[in-house]
Structures are given as structure tokens and as C-alpha cells.
């Protein structure tokens, strides 16, 4: 078999690997078919690029026109083509997410921080436009996930009960509410009395008797006692002088449950 080297890649190939050309001695060109094809591809690419660059605006208008005239058809085509590669696409996304989780989360957080006002506005607008849908969704979700939501609520409650300061907060709030017979008008008790939860904690701690600790606050342990019981004062609103005196720090003390009950004011203890 006659072999000759290609002028481009230099590889020795059989004559059949070269296109024919009668002008040449051996009846074939000097560049192999593979290299010729490669040259043609490069040329085509370059030509297309130059053509696109030269006619960018026309091409854009044309393609836009084509899209507008065949909108529905294009939508169906793109939908079909997406359905075809949906599974592999989603799988790819998932793999990419797992492999780049840290990076993605960091990027998302940065984006959110940078665009918070815009995101909030979008959320608000979306909610306004989908109010009914959202309500129905929330309702359905609550119905379909009742067991899970109940369990979450129970865990939260349990955690809350464990924390004595949260318990105090809740108890005082309930106590003041009932003392004022629902006239608290949604105000937090700290804004009604002359002390904060922190003041109260320090005040009670300073009067702890032996064995008293935050761990045994409440049922079976110690309670917050009104030295002069609530029933002793006459008040109807938080602005009344008697209310201020009843709920003054100096009228509050920690007291063991047993002693508190023996005071016969058990419905006034906290
Ligand atoms: Zn070649």
C-alpha cells in the first residue's frame, strides 16, 4: 500500500485517507481528510462568528420575530425537550448541590443580604397577589401535618416549661392579666409595672432562703408571693396607685409553696 505523510499533521497515511486531486502526481491532495475536515470546521466557526458579529441586530430582531410568531410552538418544544432531560437535569443539580453545598449556601446568604429590601418587597407582593392561595396552602398544610406540628408544639412547650425565667414571665403575665381582668390591652407586663424581668430575678434571688433555686421554682417548690395579697388592694387599671403598690418589687417575695398555701391566698400566688 502506498503511504504518504500529511502536510499538516505529519502522520503517514494510505492514499485513501486523502481527497482526490488530479493535478497532483499521485492524484491526491497533500493534507489528509481528517485535517481537511478540521480546517473546514475551523473556517466555518470563524465565518459564523464574523457573520453573527456583523449582523447582530438583524439576527436578534429576526429571532425575536420568529419567537413571537411561533410562541406557542416554541413553548411546547421547550417543554417537551425539558421533560426529556428532566430526570438527568434534576439529578445533575442534586449532585452539584451536594458537591458545592458550602459554596452555594454562602453565595445565597450574600445575595440575600445584599438584596434584602428587594427580596422583602417581592415576598410582600407575592403574598398580596396570592393571599387566598397562601391561606388555603397553610390550612391544608396544618391539616395534613397535624401529628408533626403537634409534636413540634409539645417539644417547644416542654422546653419552655424547663426554663424558669420563661415560666416566670408567663406566670406574671397571666397573673397581671387576671388581676386586671383582661384590661392589659395586649401590653407586655414589663411596660405596666415598674421593673423588668431582670430586676425581678435579682430581687427574688437576693431573698432566696436555704434550698431555693431557679430549678425548684413553681409547682412543689417556691412561688412568688405578694406580701400584701392582691385582694388587699383596690385597682381597676395599671395606672391606679394600688396596682403600682401591689406589683411593686418590695411587695414580692419568694415563698415555699406550703407556706404560701397556708397564707390562704393561694389564688394570688404566682
Ligand atoms: Zn493530517
- How far does the centroid of ligand 1 lie from the alpha carbon of residue 45, in Å? 19
- How far does the centroid of ligand 1 lie from the alpha carbon of residue 40, in Å? 13
Condensed to tens digits (0 to 9), the pLDDT of residues 119-153 reads 999 988 988 888 888 889 889 999 999 998 999 88
Section 73-87 average pLDDT: 91
- How far does the centroid of ligand 1 lie from the alpha carbon of residue 13, in Å? 8
Q: Which three cell numbers stand for residue 2?
A: 502506498
CB atoms < 10 A from the CB of 232, how many? 14
Domain boundary among 45, 69, 93: 69
What is the count of structural domains for the chain?
2
**Residue 59 placed within a domain:** yes
Residue 253: its H or E element = strand 252-256
**Residue 39 placed within a domain:** yes
Residue 222: its H or E element = strand 222-226
Domain boundary among 69, 95, 120: 69
- How far does the centroid of ligand 1 lie from the alpha carbon of residue 50, in Å? 26
Domain of 33 in residue numbering reads as 29-69
Section 9-37 average pLDDT: 94
- How far does the centroid of ligand 1 lie from the alpha carbon of residue 29, in Å? 11
Ramachandran class of 8: left when φ > 0, alpha when ψ lies in -120 to 50, beta otherwise: alpha
- How far does the centroid of ligand 1 lie from the alpha carbon of residue 12, in Å? 8
**Residue 111 placed within a domain:** no
Domain boundary among 69, 90, 121: 69
**Residue 106 placed within a domain:** no
In this prediction the pTM is: 0.39
Q: Is 102 helix (H, G, I), strand (E, B) or coil?
A: helix
**Residue 12 placed within a domain:** no
Confirm if 218 and 255 have CB atoms less than 8 A apart.
no
- How far does the centroid of ligand 1 lie from the alpha carbon of residue 19, in Å? 11
- How far does the centroid of ligand 1 lie from the alpha carbon of residue 9, in Å? 4
Min mean pLDDT across 111-115, 122-126, 159-163, 198-202 is at: 159-163
**Residue 92 placed within a domain:** no
Amino acid at each position: 500500500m502506498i503511504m504518504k505523510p500529511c502536510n499538516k499533521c505529519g502522520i503517514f497515511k494510505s492514499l485513501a485517507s486523502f481527497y482526490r486531486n488530479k493535478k497532483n502526481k499521485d492524484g491526491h491532495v497533500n493534507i489528509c481528510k481528517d485535517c481537511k475536515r478540521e480546517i473546514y470546521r475551523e473556517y466555518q466557526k470563524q465565518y459564523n462568528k464574523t457573520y453573527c458579529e456583523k449582523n447582530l441586530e438583524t439576527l436578534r430582531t429576526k429571532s425575536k420575530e420568529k419567537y413571537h410568531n411561533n410562541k406557542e410552538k416554541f413553548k411546547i418544544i421547550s417543554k417537551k425537550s425539558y421533560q426529556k432531560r428532566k430526570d438527568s437535569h434534576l439529578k445533575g443539580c442534586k449532585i452539584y448541590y451536594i458537591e458545592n453545598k458550602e459554596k452555594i449556601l454562602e453565595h445565597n446568604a450574600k445575595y440575600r443580604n445584599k438584596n434584602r429590601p428587594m427580596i422583602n418587597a417581592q415576598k410582600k407582593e407575592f403574598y398580596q397577589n396570592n393571599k387566598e392561595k397562601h391561606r388555603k396552602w397553610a390550612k391544608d398544610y396544618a391539616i395534613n401535618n397535624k401529628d408533626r406540628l403537634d409534636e413540634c408544639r409539645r417539644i417547644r412547650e416542654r422546653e419552655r416549661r424547663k426554663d424558669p425565667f420563661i415560666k416566670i414571665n408567663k406566670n406574671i403575665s397571666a397573673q397581671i392579666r387576671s388581676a386586671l381582668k383582661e384590661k392589659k390591652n395586649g401590653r407586655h407586663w414589663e411596660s405596666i409595672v415598674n421593673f423588668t424581668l431582670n430586676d425581678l430575678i435579682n430581687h427574688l434571688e437576693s431573698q432566696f432562703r436555704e434550698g431555693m433555686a431557679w430549678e425548684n421554682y413553681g409547682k412543689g417548690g417556691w412561688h412568688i408571693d405578694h406580701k400584701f395579697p392582691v385582694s388587699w388592694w383596690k385597682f381597676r387599671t395599671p395606672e391606679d396607685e394600688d396596682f403600682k403598690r401591689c406589683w411593686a418589687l418590695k411587695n414580692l417575695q419568694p415563698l415555699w409553696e406550703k407556706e404560701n398555701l397556708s397564707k390562704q391566698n393561694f389564688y394570688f400566688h404566682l
